[in-house]
Amino acid sequence: MNLERYTHKLEKIKEAGNYRKLRNIQHNGFLIHDAGREMLNLSSNDYLGLSSYPKLLEEFYEQTDVKALPYSAVSSRLLSGNHEYYGMLETDLADLYAKEAALVFTSGYHANIGILPALTSKRDLIIADKLVHASLIDGMRLSEAEMLRYHHLDTEHLRSLLKQHREKYENVFIVTESVFSMDGDLADLQELCEIKKEFEAFLYVDEAHAVGVRGTNGLGCSEEQACIEDIDFIVGTFGKAFASMGAFVVCRELFKAFLVNTQRSLIFTTALPPINVAWTRFVLNHMPDFYELRIKLAHTADQLRKVLVDNGFETRGNSHIVPFLCGSNESSVEMAELLRDNGFFALPVRYPTVPKNEARIRFSLNAAIPAEDYECLFEFLGCLE
């Protein structure tokens, strides 16, 4: 046995300034306590602040016989785990998106590592944006299909790759996110819909950071860009703005039936706890009500980007995820420490997760944080060198 291999690798990670530890964090709404310090949590995915919205929880408890809902499904959906709330949630999702069908999964990770491998074979091609999430990359690795990547958001590159390669394959899947979590930038979904039609491909859009946040009713960028109908697979997670757990795809009935029969990450895992599915469905049905929160979130993000630019810093994107570029890994780590010392919890994202010398602080905004608290952050940023 060789243990030295693991210590050596960990040393390498430390030398590169990338060593990670699990923090012991206490939560109090949008505040967190870490090592005796109270800080604003600017690193969560609780974009609407629903995880600590007492009125919403109270209403859920009033409407729901929670004592009748188990904390575990105790088996897969394909065995006896398919509690009735699953079907109700899927019907609501399909109705909201006006799609034929919806299918719910244990997490976004389960959805993304399972759907593409189930639907593709050696005769197919998956062509994905260069910056798609690790779960999609793992899904592509598990798939038998050929895989190509196009430059981030570069639809001309995508077109040229399709021109070159489309003919060789039976089915082609174009894969993108809608809001990308490193730069907070957005895919042009309408353009991708044009391309998928032109090249007779399927379009798969991961809206993990956009569901709840974008679109009048919170259905995501596909709603905002009015192209729900044309997207073959819209994936969303319930673990972010929904303040819950789980994920979904909306798609054709045919694909739902196919996934139920073949998707390993659906079949070979325990179903979500019924209590959790009931909460998700409750939140889903309230999503249209949170329009004001979505507007507030977008406004705060605009303000933060402006403050950064006005103070000579580089930022990017057009969403509630706002990067603050620092340069080297070390400077992003130092900036994160300085932020923490001043009561702001925002984590650095370093090379190799992002390109070299593009290490950054990633501000992940939350609509529940009061404007005064954001003002303190803006003031702090205004006083930096």
Ligand X SMILES: *Cc1c(COP(=O)(O)O)cnc(C)c1O
Residues labelled catalytic: 45, 133, 177, 181, 206, 209, 240
For residue 327, how far is the Cα from the chain centroid?
A: 25
The residue with tokens 């964090």 is 25
Q: How many CB atoms lie within 10 A of CB 290?
A: 24
Rank residues 49 and 108 by Cβ distance to ligand X and give the closer one: 108
Q: Which is nearer to ligand X, 106 or 199 (CB)?
A: 106
Q: Which is nearer to ligand X, 218 or 239 (CB)?
A: 239
Which residue in 275, 270, 260, 266 sits closest to 75, CA to CA? 270
- Torsion of the alpha carbons at 309, 312, 316 and 317, rounded to the nearest 10: 0
Please, which residue, 108 or 273, has the CB nearer to ligand X?
108
Kindly tell me which of 275 and 381 has the beta carbon lying closer to ligand X.
275
Least distance in Å: CB of 234 to ligand X?
12
Half-sphere exposure (Cβ direction) of 372: Cα atoms closer than 13 Å? 0
The distance of closest approach from Cβ of residue 111 to ligand X in the complex, given in angstroms and rounded to an integer, is 7
Provide long-range contacts, Cβ within 8 A and 24+ apart, for 299-304.
300/365, 300/367, 300/369, 300/371, 300/374, 301/184, 301/365, 303/374, 303/378, 304/363, 304/365, 304/374, 304/377, 304/378
| DSSP per-residue codes, 219-266 | --HHHHTT-TTT-SEEEEESSSTTSS--EEEEE-HHHHHHHHHH-HHH
Sign of CA dihedral 149, 151, 153, 156: negative
CB of 135 to ligand X, least distance (A): 5
Smaller CB separation from ligand X, 108 or 348: 108
Q: How far apart are CA 160 and CA 158, in angstroms?
A: 5
Contact positions vs ligand X (CB under 6 A)? 107-109, 112, 133, 135, 177, 181, 206, 208-209, 237, 239, 247
Instruction: Find the shortest distance in angstroms from Cβ 237 to ligand X.
Output: 4
| CA–CA separation, 171 and 371 (whole Å) | 49
d(CA 198, CA 219): 26
CB of 369 to ligand X, least distance (A): 20
Q: What tokens were used for 126?
A: 């998956």
* C-beta closer to ligand X: residue 120 or 280: 280
| Region for 218 from its dihedrals, namely left if φ exceeds 0, alpha if ψ lies in -120 to 50, beta otherwise | left
How far apart are CB 248 and ligand X at their closest, in Å? 10
Residue nearest to ligand X (CB): 108
Least separation in angstroms between residue 116's CB and ligand X is 13
Q: And the tokens for 351? A: 């090379």
Structure tokens at 137: 């990359």
Three-class SS state of 305? helix
CB atoms within 10 A of CB 371: 10
Helix (H, G, I), strand (E, B) or coil at 293: helix
CB of 209 or CB of 281, closer to ligand X: 209
Minimum separation from the CB atom of position 326 to ligand X (A): 22
